[in-house]
Amino acid sequence: MNKELIKIMLCGDVDSGKSTFLAEFLIENGGIPADQINSGIVRNNEITSLLDGLRAEQEQKITIDVAYRYFETDDKRFSLADAPGHVEFTKNMAVAASSSDIAIVVVDAVKGISEQTKRHLAICYLFDIRSYIFVVNKMDLVNYDNEIYAALFIQISQVMNQYEQVDIYVIPVSAINGENILNRSKRMLWYKGETFSKILTSITITKKQYFQSEFLFPVQRVQLLKNDRRQLQGILSRGTLCLGDNVRILPGTEVSSIRELSIGGRMVDKVTEGYAAEVVLEDNVNAPRGCSLVNVTESFCTRLFEADLLWIGEDVLTEGRVFFFRFANKTASGTIKKINKIYDLSKNEKKEDPFANRNQIVNVLIMLDDEIYCERFVDSHLMGGFIAISRRTLATVGCGMIRSYPNQSLSSRESDNTSFTIWFTGLSGSGKSTLAKACVNRLQSFGQPTVLLDGDDIRKGLCNNLGFGPEDRKENIRRVAEVCKLFNRNGIVAVAALISPAGGDRMQAKEIIGSDSFYEIHVSTPLEVCERRDAKGLYKKAREGKIKDFTGISSPYEEPNAPFLRINTEEQDVDSSIEFILSKVSKKRNDDSV
């Protein structure tokens, strides 16, 4: 008999007795081999050590990695993921939640619901878990008090009220004494509900039903056969695929039909959901790794989607950052276009903030460089889930779920341009280069690809054949603007620091780069201050007539009439100036994208 597989996860805050509860449950249900049960470990009441797979876990008496255990009843099979409770291992807990149907949440009867427990619940709901069993543990430490259990029942209900369409069960338990786990407790006769084991095995998981024709076959590998045909390999994640079925290859418009079907090299007439299979198409069409085979009526692909993201990066998440996004069978580069809101777990509310810290859950708008076939997470966990990967370190920095597809009608500027240019202009010694370098460092610390174009460096290379007359200055600015434009088109922020004294030349740069991507920062430090800072003695030489066409002395500087921002480095320090500039740029780009 084919038994239904139920995937469950166990989570709870540190020292809630999670491992003790799990070990006791597994012992009672035959989930731990007899030789381990009869060992000295159990006799010494150190049963949690049975579950610690890593030496570090055994030494520190904590759970670090996700541990998987398996057991079964007469009609069901269970896969149980034991998730760590510490804040620093939240990402490991999210891994367990991403593939689970039921969440078992252990709550300390003495401490109640903690901030970490609230974080765990938000992550579980984020990953579409809708069934929750709350184990109120350590009832022996509160003298099996019914009133304490009732108060915790109310507290749990209040926390879960923010989540829609969830089923919750709350069970008072003493894991150390094995009470209300498999057998009913004689010291908690006031509890009229079922034991934990009875509730777990009776829960019915309702999964989205699809018609057989609504198949989905993500291509994970392509093998060239001897007859020059291509064999597409993958796992059928939905529906039934039959010999002769018409298919569409997404993204794209190519259509074909199934010529051959096989499982492990054995020819078959059909493949059902969950099986790894090999497919050969009737036509030798382009079906590369990363594409998906669907029924011919399905044709939706997108570059833009709204998602909930658990940020687990070490640094701060900001708008405009570029990542690799890895889906079930495809990796695509893309940009965090907007942080819509951040979930404040402590207050059970959502707030607006352009920055997100580690272990925060944020709702974001993501634009990919290329179209992909994907689905909402509630419709397909496989095609609706993804991870974010740092382009610089290749480390996983986030995991997310697609929630919806916003209006796809974006302007050509928004579709083509994923970055921008910050243009610092001002007198020599005003602090342009200092601000520009600090700006680049700050953006790069966020993981944003950024390049610095400093006037002195430009003159030594790209523009070393130009002088300082009006026409040469104009050509100098034009070349730099064209370079900035190229960087922007490739997702790289350009930060330029040039005197650029002529207003007309700066206007030309703005037209080349694009008015919506050009942020002119006038470093308005007064002339007398710039002269006092004259480390190279340039102002002195200019006043002595030794340097011709020196801006501010023998050549005019045309101050911008309406720059994006003005910064006076005599009055503002570097850090606060950069914070101010980047926050204003971020806000302006958000406002423009609405």
Q: Which residues contact 176 (CB under 8 A, 6 or more apart)?
A: 17, 20, 24, 138, 140
Distance from the Cα of residue 257 to its chain's centroid: 36
Peptide bond into 251 cis (omega under 30): yes
**Backbone torsions φ then ψ of 44, nearest 5 degrees:** -90, 10
**Backbone torsions φ then ψ of 155, nearest 5 degrees:** -60, -45
With H, G, I as helix, E, B as strand and everything else as coil, classify residue 166. Answer: coil
How far is the C-alpha of 296 from the C-alpha of 170, rounded, in Å?
A: 47
Helices and strands (DSSP H and E) totals, the chain: 17, 29
Give the CA angle between residues 372, 92, 53 to the nearest 5°. Answer: 135
| Helical residues (DSSP H) of 368-469, grouped into ranges | 381-384, 412-416, 432-445, 455-460
Task: Mark 28-40 as b/e (b = at least 16 C-beta within 10 Å).
Answer: ebebbeeeebeee
Q: So which residues are the catalytic ones?
A: 500
Residue 91 is inside which H or E element, if any? helix 90-97
**Backbone torsions φ then ψ of 89, nearest 5 degrees:** -110, 25
CB neighbours of residue 514 within 10 Å: 17
- Residue type (1 letter), 318: T
The radius of gyration of the chain's CA atoms, rounded to the nearest angstrom, is 31
Contact 222, 230 (CB under 8 A): yes
Q: From residue 310, give the alpha-carbon distance in Å to each of 8, 81, 159, 359, 367.
A: 20, 19, 20, 6, 17
Query: What does DSSP assign to residue 375?
Result: -
How far is the C-alpha of 267 from the C-alpha of 171, rounded, in Å?
A: 50
Q: Which two tokens stand for residue 166?
A: 């969830």
- Residue type (1 letter), 515: S
Contact 493, 450 (CB under 8 A): yes
Residue from 309, 279, 301 nearest 396 by CA: 309
Q: Which two tokens stand for residue 555?
A: 């050549």
DSSP string, 200-243: HHH---------TT--EEEEEEEEE-TTS-EEEEEE--BSEEET
How far is the C-alpha of 163 from the C-alpha of 171, rounded, in Å?
A: 20
Task: Indicate the burial class of 221 (C-beta count within 10 angstroms; 0-12, 13-18, 19 or more).
Answer: exposed
